[in-house]
Amino acid sequence: MLSWLHRIYQDLATGQLGRDENGQRTATTGWLLEGMHAVVILVREVRRDRLTVRAAMLAYWTAVAIVPILLIGFTLSAPLGGTEAASGAVRRLLYDTILTDSVETVGTALDSMLAAANLRALGIVGVVGLMVIGSQLYFNAELAYNDIFRSSVRRSLLLRFTLFYAAITLAPAIMAFGFLASATLPDQVNVMRRAVPVMLTATVLVGAIRLLPNRRVSWTAALVGGLFSAVVFEVAKSGFTAYTTLMGTQDSMAGVYGSLAFLPVFLLWLQIVWMVVLIGVELAFITENYHQLVDAQRRDIGDPNSRHRRADGFFGLGLLGVIARAWKDHQPTFDTDRLSAETGADPRHVQAALDALEAGGLLTQTEDKHYVMARAPDQLTAAEVLECWRRISAPAVQPGSASADVIRDAERAVEMALSDPGSWIPLAPAEIRRLIPPEPDRRPDRPTRG
C-alpha cells in the first residue's frame, strides 16, 4: 500500500500523471501534489527527529516530575493570593485538561501525595532537590523544541531555571484567579466553563512554541502547531478512553500490576500526549519554513542521493559568501530563514552549517539571533574556511597513517589554490554595477544656438 502511494506521488511530482490533453498540470493535481508534499515532509521530519523516542523520554520525566512541580507550584503560589479552595479547583481543572477518563484515578493518587507532602519538613536542601527534579521536565522539553527547530539552547542555566520557577509559581496563581472569576458567571454561560480546558490547552501549546525555541517563531506558525495539537489532544482523550474500555486494558493491567495498574496506562497516555504535542511543534517548524522545505522536497523527488546529503565545507563556504557579500553591501547580519530563502537550501542543512562555522570562530551570533562575520571577510581566505570546517566537523584520523598523509597533501593543495584573501567573496550588487560600463547617451543632439 505504501509503495503504491509512493509511486503515485512520484508520478505526480515528475509530471507522468495529472496532466490534461495539452500537457499542462491541472489545478486539482496541483493542490493534491502540494498536500502530498506537506504530508511527506511531516513524516520525514517526524522520523528524522525520532519523535517516538523523545515522547517516551518526556513521558518518563513527566511521571517523575509531576508531583514536585505541583507541590512546589501550589505551595509557592499560595502567598500570591490563592486560597485552598481555589488551589483545589485549579488542580481539578488541570486533571480535567490533561487526564483522560481511563486514568482518572491518577488525579486521586496525586491529591493523596500532595496532601501527605510537607515542604517545611524537607528543608532547604530537600526543596532545592525537588526543584532540580521538576526542572528536568522543562529542560528536556526545551531541548526537544530547539532540536525540532534546529536551534541551540543558548540561554544560561540561571535564566532557564528562573523561567522554570516563574512558570510553576505564576501559572497556578493566574489559573486560580481565572477560575474564581469564571465562578462568578451566571449559569447561562456554563459553556464557557466547559471550554476552559480546551482554551487552556491551546494557550499553553501556542505559548510554548513561541517561547521555548531559541529563535523567532511567528504567530502564524505557533497558532498552526498549537491549535492542531489542542484539537487532536481533545480527540485523543476520547479515543484513548474508548480504546482502553474496548480492549479491557484496565482489567488486564490490574491482573498483572495489582494496585499499581494505573501506572503503565498513565505512562502510555503521557507518551500519546507528548507525541501530539511534538507533532504540533513539527507543524509549526514546517509552517515557518514551508517554501524552503517544499522547494527542497521538489528537488529531492528526482534525487536518489537526497538522504545522504549533508552540509560540508564548500556548502559552508557558500553561505559565508552570501553573508560576506551582504557585509560589503552594508547589510552585515543574517538569520537562518533569510539564508535559507536566498540559497534555496534545506533550513536544517543551513543551520548545521551555521553551527559549525560559529563553533570554528568564523561567525558570531547577535542577541537577536542573527549571524555576523567574526572577522573582516576580505582578510579571510577560502582555504582557512575549509581548514576550519575540517577541524570542527571532519572525523579524526590517526596521525602518521596513510589517510592522514593524503588529507595533509590535499589540504596543502587547497591552501595553495585558494590562498588569496577575499578572493572567494562574490561581488556585491553595488560593485557589479560599477563594473558595468554606462550606456551611451542615446538622446538626439540638441541644436546649438547660433
In terms of Cα–Cα distance, which of 72, 117, 112 is closest to 262? Answer: 112
Phi, psi of 330 (to 5 degrees): 65, 35
Mean pLDDT of 166-186: 56
Distance CA 373, CA 151 (A): 19
For the ranges 69-83, 285-299, 421-435, which has the lowest average pLDDT?
A: 69-83
Identify the burial level of 73 via C-beta atoms within 10 angstroms of its C-beta, where 0-12 means exposed, 13-18 middle and 19 or more buried: buried
Highest mean pLDDT among 29-38, 48-57, 321-330, 394-403: 48-57
Tens digit of pLDDT for each residue in 341-367? 888 888 878 888 888 888 888 888 887
- C-beta of residue 119 within 8 angstroms of C-beta of residue 71: yes
- C-beta of residue 190 within 8 angstroms of C-beta of residue 206: no
Instruction: Say if strands 371-373 and 363-365 run parallel, antiparallel, or are unpaired.
Output: antiparallel
Distance CA 323, CA 329 (A): 10
Distance CA 224, CA 17 (A): 31
In terms of Cα–Cα distance, which of 427, 445, 419 is closest to 328? Answer: 427
In 289-381, alpha helices (H): 290-301, 313-328, 336-343, 347-359
Expressed in angstroms, the distance from the first to the final Cα of the chain is: 90
- C-beta of residue 15 within 8 angstroms of C-beta of residue 29: no
Q: What is the pLDDT of residue 291?
A: 83
Residues of the chain with pLDDT > 90: what percent? Answer: 10
Q: Is the pLDDT of residue 123 over 90?
A: no
Q: What is the pLDDT of residue 158?
A: 77
Quickly state the pLDDT bin for 14 (edges 50, 70, 90): low
Distance CA 310, CA 316 (A): 11
Phi, psi of 53 (to 5 degrees): -70, -45
Parse the chain into domains and list their residue ranges: 2-47, 50-290, 310-435
- C-beta of residue 280 within 8 angstroms of C-beta of residue 205: yes
Higher local confidence (pLDDT), 218 or 110: 218
Identify the burial level of 153 via C-beta atoms within 10 angstroms of its C-beta, where 0-12 means exposed, 13-18 middle and 19 or more buried: middle
How many CB atoms within 10 Å of residue 13?
Answer: 19
Alpha-carbon dihedral of residues 10, 15, 19, 23, nearest 10 degrees? -170
Which CATH number fits the domain 310-435, given the four candidates 1.10.10.10, 3.30.70.1560, 2.70.50.60, 3.40.50.620? 1.10.10.10
Q: Show Cβ contacts of residue 132 under 8 Å, excluding neighbours closer than 6 positions.
A: none
Tens digit of pLDDT for each residue in 287-316? 998 888 887 777 777 667 777 788 888 899
Q: How far is CA 326 from CA 216, 425, 433, in A?
A: 21, 10, 15
Q: For the residues of 45-109, what is the DSSP string, one character each?
A: HHHHTTHHHHHHHHHHHHHHHHHHHHHHHHHHHGGGT--HHHHHHHHHHHHHHH--GGGTHHHHH
- C-beta of residue 91 within 8 angstroms of C-beta of residue 111: yes
Q: For the residues of 194-233, what is the DSSP string, one character each?
A: HHHHHHHHHHHHHHHHHHSSSS---HHHHHHHHHHHHHHH
- C-beta of residue 47 within 8 angstroms of C-beta of residue 54: no
Mean pLDDT of 405-417: 84
Instruction: Report, in angstroms and rounded to the nearest whole number, the Rg of the chain calculated over CA atoms.
Output: 29
Q: How far is CA 180 from CA 72, 84, 88, 183, 249, in A?
A: 21, 12, 12, 5, 37
- C-beta of residue 294 within 8 angstroms of C-beta of residue 359: no
Tens digit of pLDDT for each residue in 244-295? 666 665 566 555 555 556 677 778 888 998 999 999 999 999 999 888 888 7
DSSP SS3 for 371? strand
